[in-house]
Structure 1
Amino acid sequence: MRCKTEHLHNITSNGSSVVIASPRNTVYNISVHNLSEVVSQRISWTPSGAHRELCLLKGKSEDDCSNYIRVGAKLEDSSLLVCGTNAYRPLCRKYKNQDGTLVPEDKDIEGKGRCPYSPSHNSTALFTDGHLYTATVADFSGGEPLIYREPQRTERSDLKQLNDPSFVSSISYDNYVLFFFREAAVEFINCGKAIYSRVGRVCKSDKGGPHQFWESWTTFLKSRLNCSMPGEYPFYFEMKYATSEVVQGEYGGSYDDIIYGVFNTPVNSIGGSAICAFSMRQLMETFDGPFKEQDGMNANWLSVPHNKVPEPRPGACVNDSRTLPDFTVNFVKTHSLMNNAVPSYFSHPVSIKVSWTSKFSSIAVDPQVRALSGTTYDVIFVGTEDGKVAKIVNVATGGVGTQTHALVIEELQVLPPGTPVQSLSIVRTVSQNHAKLLVVSNKQLTHIALHRCKVFSSCADCVNLQDPYCAWDTKLRKCVPYQERSAMPAAQFIQNILKPASAQCPEDSSSDVRELTDEHNEIDNQILDSGSESDGQECAPAKCPSCVGQCADSLASQVASQQDKIVIYTGNTLGLTVLTSVLLTLLIGFTAGYLCSRFVRNDTYTNIMPFHARQQLNRLDNSSSLESGNPAAAGNTVPSSWTSHPNNKNTLNLVMNVCHETERSPKNDLNEKNSTLENSKNTLQKVKKTYI
């Protein structure tokens, strides 16, 4: 079932319903069971006419001057706090449940610092321990970012604390509130501009500083998140886009709290995405490490020496921060950046995807899913920018060690192609037996099951899936969700997460099971009939339920006899045969082409030789006849002057086509010269030059 509206935003949820905000003046209460709306609890909140006209006068569009709900929190008294942009004048309201209907209080609350002015600004909010923590902007232009909890806030126009941040998420952990965001790296400013992923931390007990620091955080610190491919020159994924909730489990033989995050590369870099995990223990240790500072405008950012850090340590949680000395408060204001980065928990990303159009955009984790072997695995669901949801299993959570290996189980096209997945949430009903994955985009809400075990009909397909949710039930001969049948004996199921096959499944994909159960398989029926005739008894399971074992034995013998008659060729034999055929074909073709070219060459040269060339060759033959003393064999073309001097040795000039005498007689010298000149003139006028 799908719920289609405009610009959906998941703001809060509980076990039975989820509050979805459509920034166009509406908040929906959606039932998790069937995604039906609780109409009586719909909230409609439009900006007043004066606020809308003022927004239009400031140059904003009609769409921007609506009320976009960006903050929603369920308060301790079961009331609902809602904050919206309200035509670029943020306001908040409290709604109370009266007889199943949400009724607003009479007075609105100022929303500056709690809700952004622009509906497109990345902001985050968290309600915990009776306070609302927000990370947003506090001005119309969006140039004043802040982390706020009334009345404490980050410093105004201080690039060392926040430098053009884009906030992603916020979580509560122990006595701290953590903010995840990305920003322009101030420590890299001397080398250019770069975006770093950050995690910021404030103490819940922070009450501000003494005197003039009463509205300043005394515990705000931030560290860099290192999501990169390790090596001599690491490749970083700096654009953080989403984080999961903190999950607890056994990782590499030890228990730890970790959080998963989705990171992308910049738009002008190689298109890629990565999923990195971070240990909460290592994250907190970075805030206890050295600080980072810059002595001068052109100086490098270096670690602060330990002897320059004042006591009590800046940024630490104390009972009453208003009693801290001014020097400590000033130090934390100018040294909010920590020197050490938070390393990836498995030393490298859990999963990496290289793509220009299908980057990761959202994440949800179902932690510690117990497999048949008793090992637990984190199942990660990742949304992409083109409407797909990928299901990934982190097998490093199964005690394999710190070396992680991600198994991509499947990737489904849940939303229309090109529609980014804005958020993912795993919700379970009261019974906890049926879980769903909520998929939210800007205009659509839908849900899918956490597994698709029933799609796979054979043992091999079910086991090769390597899905912790699914196992092959040998009794029912079906691929079933193992968690729903965990009370059954483990020997009844077949599952293998680390290997794509199981020796417990027959090599022929459980053909014996199909032959005994599939009544529509004609080949199986023929084998069963032949087996019953040979045994001299009726062996069909439908007619003889008590002899199923005998049928199976008879069937196995029949299949074995059939396999003996079939000649099976291995892959190596087939490959060698194909290669031999190709080589023989090339050899035969080359030999035939060579012989044909030799035959065609002789015939072609004779036919295409020009007439004057053949004439010169004929004359060469005539000259050779004359030299042998047989002028008559030369034909009628022999000049009479050649025959008048039989003792002369004449040679043919191939250039001038005239005869030269190697031995001359003193007699008739003048006549011969005249004759030679006449013949030379005539020959030069008619005969072309030919080079052989």
Structure 2
Amino acid sequence: MASSVWAICCLLGGLLLRPGSPGPGPSMPRLRLSYRDLLSANRSAVFLGPRGSLDLHALYLDEYRDRIFLGGRDALYSLRLDQAWPDPREVLWPPLPGQREECVRKGRDPSTECANFVRVLQPHNRTHLLACGTGAFQPICALIAVGHRGEHVLLLEPGSVEGGRGRCPHEPSRPFASAFVGGELYTGLTADFLGHEAMIFRSGGPRPALRSNSDQNLLHDPQFVKAARIADSSDQDDDKVYFFFSETVPSPDGSPGRVTISRVGRVCVNDAGGQRVLVNKWSTFLKARLVCSVPGPDGAETHFDQLEDVFLLQTNAVKSVELYALFSTVSAVFQGFAVCVYHMADIWEVFKGPFAHQDGPQHQWGPYGGKVPFPRPGMCPSKMTAQPGRPFGNTKHYPDEVLQFARAHPLMFQPVRPRQGRPVLVKTQLAQQLRQIVVDRVEAEDGTYDVIFLGTDSGSVLKVIALQVDGSTEPEEVVLEELQVFKVPTPVTEMEISVKRETLYVGSRLGVARVRLHQCETYGSACAECCLARDPYCAWDGASCTRYRPGTSKRRFRRQDIRHGNPTLQCLGHSPEEEAAGPTETRTVYGTEHNSTFLECLPKSPQAAVRWFLQRPGDEGPDQSSGKASLDPRSGSTALSHQTPEEKVKTEGTAAGRCGGPG
């Protein structure tokens, strides 16, 4: 029986190469890089601690000292911001004698709760950090000597150890937020053993401690996410600490049941409480609702009410802080996530608006229509409140009617709505859940883009941009990369970004990873591949896909198109040989008669389509319909067999394949 030669072509075509063709779906990443891919490309380095798992609960990035500090189970760590985490420092900090045993006697889990889980790492001064831990359900705090810049010191000051109630939660997993401002620690937490006493607390400075009034019913089972000092004006006396959280409240329309609502709350840094009313209690606390919803065609809105994480994007404009917030749904119908963007100016306007008022528990909320006393409740003592004969230079000088009003009306009537009235990103039917968010504002050839990094519960990070398409109210989502940062699926619990180092620091219970924000050469070695990537960090420089730098000398050679990703306009005529071939390569596979041959022709990008072609001896060209391909799940390769009505034969002879597409 004479042997035959069959030519089989594998063509991987990028869908984006053909304008107008259907896309692969908004959630499909341009590149999907595994844990091994990141390590082999020297794009990631992971620190798991000397015992193989940190049980990480706190992360503080200190770019001034070029170090990152980690709080884990019974230990703290200091790492230099270098590629391979050389020379780490460790301080062991177990619970005080007897605390672990007492925790077990009270019914707590000895393996997951009865240890000192470090939850607070905040800069205290030029040479020390403030650290607080759960202390086996007896919170403790201490000062940690970290030295000056250039030194690598990590020492616990034994004489500084003190009780940490109100400064650190008892439970390792209890939602919690803290900010260190002017030598004082601001915390949002539940401060009792049972986890019922929710409060916003200030402590640690020369002033008396200040806390929420427990009988005000200000906070309803809050889930604190973030606390941060934000300047409202050039007057430092007007500075406030903002808290972002979700809470479960009675239904706002007076109907039975409770609903989850996300909030932004704030207190004045110079709040000193009242003299007769609200003594040692917040006298300036106000809160407002954060709305993140998708408008429907019938006027109904799909709300994302559970706040997951918040990132404050500092912009170059004066008094321009943008707030990126990650939300999830609490619906039993479907699971979804959304990212909404808020301008701080819009938040300030809501706090200047009407107060919410409710005549009774079964009544709906409405705007307060009566007279508002002066100084306006929630205002900080500053030049704005100082009037001749009425020098309100301290909240203790505020009239009782102001404090009584603040006590009875802590909620604003108007909600805070996002920029453009809708999310910039909506993701539903995801295989993983989104937990963390950081953002980098990047200047590209055709404009400025916000690159969003989303940490998942599977140990991966999604790198996404949202483009505002002309004539459309819905932004276009472009998933640039999916990076599997941790080898074992584990929820991402911390993320910090260093714009200066172009590095992302990703924390999980296992440890911390250092990940480069971009690696342009991964997209490919052709102009079209680089252009199709639509990555604001990357551009074709005439020879390779490299980091885009505004104002560089090779401007006339740069090719980049983030908004449209059109390689025809960007790359046509740039390199005739390269562009004629396109981003493809040809492979030849030799097989023997009556044997199956697995043809490996796999794309780097999930956004590539695979088509198989078979050419019989004597045919002028390949025929796509004459063969069929099937994926071998064991090898990840593809087996092709040819079938006609008269015969069924295995692949024989030589098989040629072309692999290409976007990456």
Q: Aligned partners of 1:145, 1:156: CA distance in 2, in Å?
A: 8
- For residue 32 of structure 1, report the CA deviation from its aligned partner: 1.9
Secondary structure of 1:346's counterpart equals: helix
Instruction: Please give the residue correspondences for 1:406-425 in structure 2 after superposition, counting only pairs within 5 Å.
Output: 406-416=477-487, 418-425=489-496
Residue 320 in 1 paired to residue 401 in 2? no
Pick from 439, 451, 462 the counterpart of residue 506 of structure 2: 439
- Partner of 1:480 in structure 2? 546
| SS class of match (1:308) | coil
Q: Which of residues 253, 259, 272 is equivalent to 2:336?
A: 272
C-alpha distance in structure 2 between counterparts of 1:281 and 1:76, whole Å: 31
Deviation per residue, 1:413-458 (Å, 9 max, x gap) = 2234642111222125xxx4x4211121111321222112102111
The letter of the residue matching 1:21 is G
TM-fit CA distance, 1:326:
1.1
> In structure 1, what is the equivalent of residue 372 of structure 2?
309
1:151-550 aligned at under 5 Å gives the runs 151-159=209-217, 161-174=218-231, 175-186=239-250, 188=252, 190-231=255-296, 232-248=299-315, 256-266=320-330, 268-305=332-369, 307-318=370-381, 319-355=393-429, 357-367=431-441, 369-373=442-446, 375-396=447-468, 404-416=475-487, 418-427=489-498, 432=500, 434-455=501-522, 456-474=524-542, 477-483=543-549, 486-506=551-571, 510=575, 512-513=577-578
Q: Secondary structure at the match of 1:244?
A: strand
CA distance in 1, matches of 2:512, 2:587: 45
Counterpart-to-counterpart distance in 2, 1:32 and 1:90: 30
* Paired residue type of 1:388: S
Partner of 2:145: 96
The match for 1:108 is 161
- In 1, the alpha carbon distance for the partners of 2:587 and 2:221 equals 70
Which amino acid letter does the alignment assign opposite residue 427 of structure 1? S
Are 1:21 and 2:68 counterparts? no
Q: What letter corresponds to residue 200 of structure 1 in structure 2?
A: G
* Cα distance in 2 between the residues matched to 1:37 and 1:73: 23
Greater alpha carbon shift after TM alignment, 357-366 vs 189-198: 189-198
Kindly indicate whether the alpha-carbon contact (under 8 Å) linking 1:382 and 1:390 is maintained by their aligned counterparts in 2: yes
One-letter amino acid of the structure 1 residue matched with residue 525 of structure 2? S
2-structure distance, mates of 1:68, 1:44? 11
Q: Give the distance between the partners of 1:400 and 1:437, measured in 2 at CA.
A: 34
Which protein is richer in helix relative to its size? Answer: 1
- State the 1:350 CA deviation: 0.7
Cα 1:327/1:508, change in 2 over 3 Å: same
- In the alignment, is the contact (CA less than 8 A) between 1:439 and 1:447 conserved in 2? yes
**Counterpart AA for 1:3:** F
Deviation at 1:193, TM superposition (A): 1.2
Question: CA shift at 1:36, angstroms?
Answer: 1.7
* Whole-angstrom CA distance in 2 between matches of 1:441 and 1:355: 23
3-state SS, counterpart of residue 309 of structure 2: strand
State the distance in 2 between where 1:515 and 1:405 align.
Answer: 30
Identity of aligned residues (%): 31
TM-score (norm 2): 0.72
Deviations 1:449-500 (A, max 9, x none): 21121021111111011111111111xx2111112x7422311101111112
Q: 1:217 to 1:255 in 2, by over 3 A?
A: closer
Q: Work out the CA distance in 2 between the residues paired with 1:416 and 1:70.
A: 25
- Which amino acid is 1:378 matched to? D
Distance 1:284 1:123 in 2: 24
Pick closer, same or farther for the CA change 1:441–1:81 going to 2, 3 Å. same
CA spacing shift, 1:464–1:107, aligned 2, 3 Å: closer
Q: CA deviation at 1:31?
A: 1.8
The answer on whether the counterparts of 1:357 and 1:385 sit within 8 Å (CA) in structure 2 is no
Q: Contact between 2:457 and 2:490, CA under 8 Å: does it hold in 1?
A: yes
Contact 2:357 2:367 in 1 (8 A): yes
More strand by share: 2
Q: Deviations over 1:122-154 (max 9, x none)?
A: 111111222211111111100001001131111
For the 8 Å contact 1:171–1:178, the answer to whether it is kept is yes
Post-superposition Cα deviations, 1:168-225, rounded to whole Å, max 9, x if no partner, equal 1111110111111000124536342110011111111111111252211111000100
Note closer, same or farther for the CA distance 1:59–1:514 as it changes in structure 2 (3 Å cut): same
Contact 1:222/1:336, CA 8 A, preserved across alignment: yes
Instruction: Assess, with a 3 A threshold, how the Cα gap between structure 1 residues 7 and 346 changes in structure 2: closer, same or farther.
Output: farther
Instruction: Give me the whole-angstrom Cα distance separating, in 1, the residues matched to 2:358 and 2:67.
Output: 50
SS where residue 199 of structure 1 aligns? Answer: strand
**Structure 1 Cα separation of the partners of residues 351 and 115 of structure 2:** 41
Residues 29, 38 of structure 1: 8 Å contact kept = no
| Residues 37 and 132 (structure 1), Cα distance of their counterparts in 2 relative to 1, 3 Å cut | farther
What is the aligned counterpart of 1:3 among 47, 68, 81? 47
Q: CA deviation at 1:48?
A: 2.1
Counterpart of 1:674 in structure 2 is none
Q: Is the 8 A contact 1:291 1:304 kept in 2?
A: yes
1:255-277 superposed Cα distances (whole Å, 9 cap, x missing partner):
94311011011262411111110
With over 3 angstroms needed to count, the CA separation of the structure-2 counterparts of 1:194 and 1:205, relative to structure 1, is same
Where 2:267 maps in the other structure, the secondary structure is strand
Give the match's secondary structure for 1:332: helix
**2:171 equivalent in structure 1:** 118
Q: Distance in 2 between matches of 1:255 and 1:199?
A: 18
Partners of 2:620 and 2:346 lie apart in 1 by: 61
Instruction: Note the alpha carbon deviations across 1:575-596, whole angstroms, 9 max, x for none.
Output: xxxxxxxxxxxxxxxxxxxxxx
1:348-399 per-residue CA deviation (whole Å, 9 max, x = no partner) reads 11111112541211011112x11123x2111111111222211112334x99
What residue in structure 1 maps to residue 605 of structure 2? none
8 Å CA contact retained: 2:78, 2:154: no
Contact 2:58-2:118 at 8 Å conserved across structures: no
Contact 1:357 1:386 (8 Å CA) reproduced: no
Distance 1:143 1:522 in 2: 66
C-alpha distance in 1, partners of 2:496/2:556?
34
Counterpart Cα distance in 2 of 1:82 and 1:177: 20
Q: Which amino acid aligns with 2:114?
A: C
Larger Cα Rg: Structure 1 or Structure 2?
A: 1
CA RMSD across the alignment: 3.1
Give 1:505 shift: 4.3
Contact 2:285 2:406 (8 Å CA) reproduced? yes
User: What is the CA–CA distance in structure 2 between the aligned matches of 1:506 and 1:68, rounded to whole Å?
Assistant: 54
Instruction: Tell me the distance in 2 between the aligned counterparts of 1:505 and 1:220.
Output: 54
The equivalent of 1:44 in structure 2 is: 92
Partner secondary structure for residue 345 of structure 2: helix
Q: State the secondary structure of the residue aligned to 1:422.
A: strand
Q: Is the 8 A contact 1:362 1:424 kept in 2?
A: yes
